[in-house]
Structure formats: structure tokens, C-alpha cells
Amino acid sequence: MEKENAIVWFAMSAPYRRELIAKEFLDKKGIECFVPMKEALVEKRNGTKSRQMVPAIHNLIFVHTTKETIKALKQGVNFLQYRTRPEGGKNTPIIVPDYQMQQFIAVTNAQNESITYLRPEEVDIKKGTKVRVHGGIFDGTEGYFVKLQGKRNRRVVMLIEGITAVALTEISTDFIEIIDRQQPL
């Protein structure tokens, strides 16, 4: 059980695509938060299109604060809800470990066009090998080396359990270190 005063990363939902409104609200309060963004072609009302940064995963925001602070912030705010998982017969807020969150932020901020966002159920990590990347923009990233449906080669997939998965660009096996030796590369 987390201490009330421990600063942790909460996975939160901002329903109806209000993740940027939630981010602006938290920024004004001085609370660290993160919304994964990607560049996309957006059509404007006048029919023109332009490239803009948009949320990569709708309704998702990560908030770095204490349980006490997030509880107080949620009072009277309908655009910030806990993402939960069943645990011991009740739903508990999902907390992402700091190390995993740092890697996720680094990977998603790389703005590499070949990064693919997936739902956790789209990745079968049981068929993958736990690996660490050495070199390049993803240096130090840990994930699972798996074959994705519809893709030619295997990719390193970083998973935040119950929330999302990010498939990195194709990486040469020369840059991959096996962490878990259960399956061969």
C-alpha cells in the first residue's frame, strides 16, 4: 500500500478527449503530468490540413503527485478519473513505477514516426523475450522483443501493464541485450 505522502505516477483518465484540458489544469496547479503526444495530419473546419501535435492515446494522462494531493484535486473536477485495476476484490488506482515512466516518457518524446501505440491486449508478451536496447535514441529502454501482427520483423515493445504498449522502430539484434534467457533471440 502506498504512503499518502509518497510522490508516484498515477495513470488517469480524462474522459471525452479532455486530456489537454486536464494537463492545462494540472500545469496551472504546478503538478507534474504527462500526455503522450504524436504528430498527426489534422483537418481544420475550412477543409485545409496541417501537421499538429495531438494526444497519442486519447483520454490518458499520467500525474506525478501524492495520493493526498490527487484526491484533493479530483474534488469537483469531472475531467480527471483514476485508471484502476481489480486487486483484492476492489478497484485500486494504477500506479506506474518511476523507472518505467521515465523510459515511457523518453520513448514517446523521441517523436520517431515508426513508434506504434498499442492496446496491452494486442501484445502477447508471453511469446517475447525480455530485452534492453543499447545505442541510438532508445538506449537503455527495456521491453519485450516480439512479433507484431501485420509487421514483417520483430520489434521491441515497451509495456505499461493495463494501460498501453509502445512498439519501437525495427532495431537490429546487434543493439539488443537479452535480459531474460527463457527464450532465444
Residue that the C-alpha cell 502506498 belongs to:
2
User: Average of pLDDT values for 46-58?
Assistant: 91
Element containing residue 106 per DSSP (H, E)? helix 98-109
pLDDT at 104 over 70: yes
Which helix (H) or strand (E) segment holds residue 38: the answer is strand 37-43
pLDDT of residue 181: 53
DSSP symbols for 68-103: HHHHHHHTT-TT-EE-EEEETTEEEE-EE-HHHHHH
> Residue 87 is placed in which grid cell?
486487486
66 has a pLDDT exceeding 90: yes
CA nearest neighbour of 54 among 40, 67, 44: 40
Whole-number pLDDT of residue 116: 87
Could you give the C-alpha distances from 18 to 30, 54, 73, 146, in angstroms and in order?
18, 12, 16, 33
Residue 34's pLDDT is what?
Answer: 97
Over pLDDT 90: what percentage of the chain? 53
The pLDDT of residue 100: 93
160, containing H or E segment: strand 154-160
| Res 163 pLDDT > 60 | yes
Lowest mean pLDDT among 39-53, 85-99, 107-121: 107-121
pLDDT of residue 185: 42
Q: What are residue 142's DSSP bridge partners? A: 132
Distance set, CA 61 to CA 2, 19, 64, 172, 173 (Å) = 20, 6, 10, 32, 33
Instruction: Determine the average pLDDT of the residues in 53-74.
Output: 94
For residue 131, which of 111, 110, 158 has the smallest C-alpha distance? 158
User: pLDDT at position 10, please?
Assistant: 97
pTM for the model: 0.87
Chain centre to alpha carbon of residue 65: 17
Higher pLDDT, 112 or 82: 82
**Which grid cell sits at 79?**
475531467
Q: 28-50 pLDDT, tens per residue?
A: 999 999 999 998 888 888 888 99
Residue type for position 146: V
